[in-house]
Amino acid sequence: MPDDTQTPRQKRDDVVVPLKRSRSQEGGSEMLDAVVVGGGVIGLACAWRAARRGVRVRVLERDYPGAGASHVAAGMLAPVSEASWGEEALMRLTLASAEAWPEFAAELATDSELEVGYEPCGALHVALDRDEAEELRRRFELMESFDLGVEWLRPPACREMEPGLVPACAAGVHAPGEAAVDPGLLVPALTAAVERRGGQVFVEAEVADILTEGGRLAGVITGDGREHRAQHVVLASGAWSGAAPWLPPLARPPVRPVKGQILTLRGNPDRPVCRRIVASERVYLVPRPDGRLIVGATVEERGFDIQVTAGGVHELLREAYRALPDVAELELVETVAGLRPATPDNVPLVGPGALDGLVLATGHYRNGILLTPISAEAVAALLASEPLPPEAENAHPGRFAGESAPGLAAAPTIDEAPQ
């Protein structure tokens, strides 16, 4: 009898989560409540929260859990960083999700019996010259209008908080409520939590086609020919959601890939170059307890290209050095590029799709990790026919029921969703 387990390729070799490969000979096509297509943080979290409600759920991941954008994410839980004019809907989502993160992390640690990597470290947003200080002041006023609990700091106070800052630091904004989570720990914890709650995670299970019954989506077929029948199919394929060949063209959501390059540096964990998130106008630096420092990230409209470039690495190292000169002494451990799933308005798509039975959980752009709790809660509530979180209305797919996504005209409104 062939072995049907494997260990996902994670950076933490001591975290072992047996996973199933999808094989056509592995029995019949039992009916599920939901199939989640995509095993990144969003897809796994949706499955976990649904399984906690008793939903029979299966995750289908074409590679290994977290192989897409989740592998590249810095894990910033920083709604202050996303404060921008004209994006009030996104701001409401990020604030609600950031508030949910501590309880989400605690429940995940309990269900998975694994370390989650949640660190309430706070953040310092800095300006490195006079022009940047003027822009930061404008953003600070916007942050205050959202009551984000931030504090304006003069240069001496910034350097007292983070002694490694460049002496030319011109101003700063302290955001003590911001946090970070390590995706390298989060992904295996979510995977374990799904299975401990009775769900399934299949790897090497690429979806090839859909099943329909009476005009309704009734499941999917994987490349090995196996049928996965379910009442709902959750599309959580990140940047590939808008190009899913197995969906009819009108059912594909308006999601495009946006490339991001990111670096991992490493130093002495007892003498870190910074103790909290440090973000400038052009770069952010996220410290890990083990001495790693995550430096990100470029924003590039390059389609599905994921090549790491010399220019991208140079840009990130240059801007990191401008803020924290001591990074020059750190070891360069990893350079990697990934694809963010972006929508036309930068707000995710969470809710009913264009096909009856299709649920969208995609388009999170730069905020996938931050928006995980609220996205997962909304999808799980929909699958369990429970009331949706009121904030979920801001991410309802029906807002694009026009030229950018004509198929979404079929998506029920928030009031028509199961209550």
Please report, for residues 213, 238, 400, the alpha-carbon distance to residue 193 in angstroms, rounded to integers and kept in the order given.
32, 21, 33
Looking at residue 80, its pLDDT comes to 84
Rounded mean pLDDT, 274-300: 97
Looking at residue 353, its pLDDT comes to 95
Percent of the chain with pLDDT over 70: 89
Looking at residue 20, its pLDDT comes to 65
Looking at residue 402, its pLDDT comes to 64
- Residue reference for tokens 């009031």: 415
**What type of residue is 414?**
I
Instruction: Give the number of other CB atoms < 10 A from CB of residue 160.
Output: 10
Segments in 278-399 forming alpha helices (H): 310-323, 372-383
Instruction: Give the number of other CB atoms < 10 A from CB of residue 403.
Output: 7
Rounded mean pLDDT, 73-81: 92
Rounded mean pLDDT, 321-329: 98
Q: Is the pLDDT of residue 200 over 80?
A: yes
First to last CA, the chain: 45
Percent of the chain with pLDDT over 90: 80
Q: Considering only 10-24, 67-81, 291-305, 306-320, which range has the smallest mean pLDDT?
A: 10-24
**What type of residue is 102?**
P
Compute the distance between CA of residue 114 and CA of residue 189 in angstroms, rounded to an integer. 6
* Arithmetic mean of pLDDT over the chain: 90
Looking at residue 199, its pLDDT comes to 98
Compute the distance between CA of residue 35 and CA of residue 51 in angstroms, rounded to an integer. 11
Q: Considering only 23-27, 59-63, 170-174, which range has the smallest mean pLDDT?
A: 23-27
Strands 123-127 and 171-175, by their bridges, are antiparallel
Rounded mean pLDDT, 208-217: 96
Of 413 and 214, more confident: 214
Q: Is the pLDDT of residue 39 over 80?
A: yes
Looking at residue 83, its pLDDT comes to 72
Q: What confidence tier does 16 reach under pLDDT thresholds 50, 70, 90?
A: very low
Angle, vertex CA 92, rays to CA 48 and CA 303, nearest 5: 70
- Among 80-84, 143-147, 357-361, 394-398, the range of highest mean pLDDT: 357-361
Looking at residue 148, its pLDDT comes to 85
Q: Is the backbone peptide bond immediately before 47 cis, with ω within 30 degrees of 0?
A: no
Cα 107 to chain centroid distance, Å, stands at 18
Compute the distance between CA of residue 50 and CA of residue 52 in angstroms, rounded to an integer. 5
- What are φ and ψ of residue 314, in 5° steps? -60, -45
Q: How many residues does the chain have?
A: 419
Looking at residue 29, its pLDDT comes to 60
Nearest partner of 188 among 94, 251, 112, judged by Cα: 112
Compute the distance between CA of residue 337 and CA of residue 343 in angstroms, rounded to an integer. 19
The pTM assigned to this predicted structure is: 0.91
Compute the distance between CA of residue 143 and CA of residue 82 in angstroms, rounded to an integer. 10
**77 Cβ contact partners less than 8 Å away, ≥ 6 residues apart:** 98, 101, 178, 179, 180, 181, 369, 370
Q: What is the pLDDT of residues 129-154, one digit of tens each?
A: 999 999 999 999 988 888 889 999 99
Q: What is the pLDDT of residues 44-73, one digit of tens each?
A: 999 999 999 999 999 999 999 999 999 999
With H, G, I as helix, E, B as strand and everything else as coil, classify residue 375.
helix
